[in-house]
Structure 1
Amino acid sequence: MNRRLFIGALGASAVGTVAGCLSAGDSRTISATPARVSADAAATAGYEYQGTRERVETERVGSEDVEVTSYVSVYDRAMELPTAEFGEDAVKAGVFAVLAAPQVTVGDETINPISDRSRRELANRIQRHYDGFEIDRAVGGRAIQALGQRFSFQSYEGTAALQGEAEIAVRLDIAQRQHEDDYDVIAAIYPVEDLLEGGSEQERIDTLVRGLEQYDDIEVEIVESGSDGGD
């Protein structure tokens, strides 16, 4: 799969409607707090941090320009797959991302573009924005404790084009919920168990989720979209 396309699809699934809900006189700049995985958890899971993308949306609201900033932190893992296209070379086929989008309070109402969307709706939006990914069916879910809260995941299976060369069976895990002043979306896409010699990738994903961190003044490495090569 193309990591940049997946990241872009995740971002497109969750942002772009907050500013339209504001009215003139509200704050001109609204920013989420980035989320990341602890270094220890990432190392245990075997995933490599690829930086955090900053997504800024500017909308004209009344007589003001309102700037809304969200963040997507991305991790990936190289693994060997039994496909002739790649031979014995390890391929970055597992991608984990956590999106933090700000919620906005207007009077007595709190508004966020992802708060009212189901996991299926978010999964469908990722599918629509990512040409190489096709969802076939839902395959169950699980709950994981992270950030002092309970995240309920839904899993889907489908197919994805890996680096534009081979179509493989993959699983998408997705969860979303409020954490303090933000809404977080956690998404992971990885090959199904039958393609992996070491068994299911789910245990590694669960380690990443449990290792999530999000707090004021957290340090992340902001990278430009497209700076990672996109494999």
Structure 2
Amino acid sequence: MNRRLFIGTLGAGALGTVAGCVSGLADDVATFSATPARVSEDAAAEADYKYQGTRERIDSEVVGGQDVEVTSYISVYDRAIDLTGERFGGDALKASVFGVIATPQVSVDGEDFDPVGDLSNRELAERVQSHYSGIEVDRAVGGRALQALGQRFSFQSYEGIATLQAEYDVSVHLDVAQRDHEDDHVVVAAVYPTDSILSEGSEQGRIDTLTRGLEQYEGIDVKLESERSGE
């Protein structure tokens, strides 16, 4: 599974131009910024996931007749998994990806702008499917609720097929949950192989560990990569 493609999916596809309180004003452009979110080091280590960095995404929009610049953050983790079966060649593939997106909620002159908050989990899953060439989502297969960031995150799980390294077709689950936290909207998404092809047991427990380990606060330490809409 290509990490860059997954970041692009969550940043450009699942979110689009996203939208709190105004954080600044530069050249007559109002700027809004989310607080980055990431998984604690202890939780990432327990789940055996590697932190791949946090993408800072900047989008421009007109809200309430005002030009605004919106900064969102996408933190991504992945894990190499030994997949069973001869067709995988015994390779350890980066087959599981976890992402957390934080977007500010914008309000200017009585006009609110928060397209992500208006999307259902199913709609977010469909955005991931339509913007990721290597995954096809088939159907919903259940859900679960977890506590994270002092909130209740309700996951919806979908089943589908993902293509790894442009070569292997793998049955996967796509989990999506979203929740407001402070002045931001937080989306959690994960893609991971189903139990039928894993040699190490279910991956869902690791995803739950990552989710429960989410952190979001001012001054949080993240490894930033910058991106502007259209890039």
TM-score (normalizing by structure 2) = 0.88
Inter-partner Cα distance in structure 1 for 2:105 and 2:59? 14
Inter-partner Cα distance in structure 2 for 1:213 and 1:26? 33
Q: What corresponds to 2:186 in structure 1?
A: 184
Inter-partner Cα distance in structure 1 for 2:211 and 2:163? 25
Of 156-165 and 76-85, the range deviating more from structure 2: 76-85
Q: Which one-letter code corresponds to 2:74 in the other structure? A: V
Q: CA RMSD in A?
A: 2.2
Q: Pick from 71, 74, 98: which aligns with 2:73?
A: 71
Once the two structures are TM-superposed, the CA of residue 111 in structure 1 deviates from its matched residue by 3.0
Once the two structures are TM-superposed, the CA of residue 58 in structure 1 deviates from its matched residue by 2.3
Q: Which one-letter code corresponds to 1:41 in the other structure? A: A
Q: Pick from 115, 124, 140: which aligns with 1:113?
A: 115
Inter-partner Cα distance in structure 2 for 1:3 and 1:164? 13
Cα 1:102–1:62, aligned 2, differ >3 Å: closer, same or farther? Answer: closer
Please give the secondary structure, in 2, of the residue aligned with 1:100: strand
Once the two structures are TM-superposed, the CA of residue 112 in structure 1 deviates from its matched residue by 1.1
CA contact under 8 A between 1:85 and 1:165: conserved in structure 2? no
Please give the secondary structure, in 2, of the residue aligned with 1:204: helix
Q: Which one-letter code corresponds to 1:133 in the other structure? A: I
Any gaps of 5 or more consecutive residues in structure 1? 19-24, 226-231
Tell me the number of residue pairs that the alignment of Structure 1 and Structure 2 aligns.
220
Cα 1:169–1:138, aligned 2, differ >3 Å: closer, same or farther? Answer: same
Q: Which one-letter code corresponds to 1:167 in the other structure? A: D
Once the two structures are TM-superposed, the CA of residue 224 in structure 1 deviates from its matched residue by 5.3
CA contact under 8 A between 2:54 and 2:74: conserved in structure 1? yes
Please give the secondary structure, in 2, of the residue aligned with 1:28: strand
Any gaps of 5 or more consecutive residues in structure 2? 20-26
CA contact under 8 A between 1:138 and 1:156: conserved in structure 2? yes
Q: What corresponds to 2:15 in structure 1?
A: 14
Once the two structures are TM-superposed, the CA of residue 59 in structure 1 deviates from its matched residue by 3.4
Aligned pairs (5 A) from 1:9-48: 9-11=9-11, 12-16=13-17, 18=19, 28-48=30-50
Inter-partner Cα distance in structure 1 for 2:124 and 2:64? 29
Please give the secondary structure, in 1, of the residue aligned with 2:115: coil
CA contact under 8 A between 1:134 and 1:158: conserved in structure 2? yes
Q: Give CA deviations for 1:37-87 in whole Å, capped at 9, x if unaligned.
A: 000000000000000011111236688642111010000001111244542
Of 77-86 and 67-76, the range deviating more from structure 2: 77-86
Identity among equivalent positions (%) equals 63
Inter-partner Cα distance in structure 2 for 1:97 and 1:183? 14
Please give the secondary structure, in 2, of the residue aligned with 1:121: helix
Once the two structures are TM-superposed, the CA of residue 10 in structure 1 deviates from its matched residue by 1.1
Please give the secondary structure, in 2, of the residue aligned with 1:77: strand
Q: Does 1:4 align with 2:27?
A: no
Inter-partner Cα distance in structure 2 for 1:48 and 1:65? 37
Q: Which has the higher strand share?
A: 2
TM-score (normalizing by structure 1) = 0.88
Aligned pairs (5 A) from 1:66-215: 66-108=68-110, 110-215=112-217
Q: Does 1:219 align with 2:200?
A: no
Please give the secondary structure, in 2, of the residue aligned with 1:127: helix
CA contact under 8 A between 1:159 and 1:170: conserved in structure 2? yes
Of 7-16 and 31-40, the range deviating more from structure 2: 7-16
Once the two structures are TM-superposed, the CA of residue 116 in structure 1 deviates from its matched residue by 1.1
Cα 1:110–1:61, aligned 2, differ >3 Å: closer, same or farther? Answer: closer
Once the two structures are TM-superposed, the CA of residue 177 in structure 1 deviates from its matched residue by 1.1
Inter-partner Cα distance in structure 2 for 1:183 and 1:176? 7
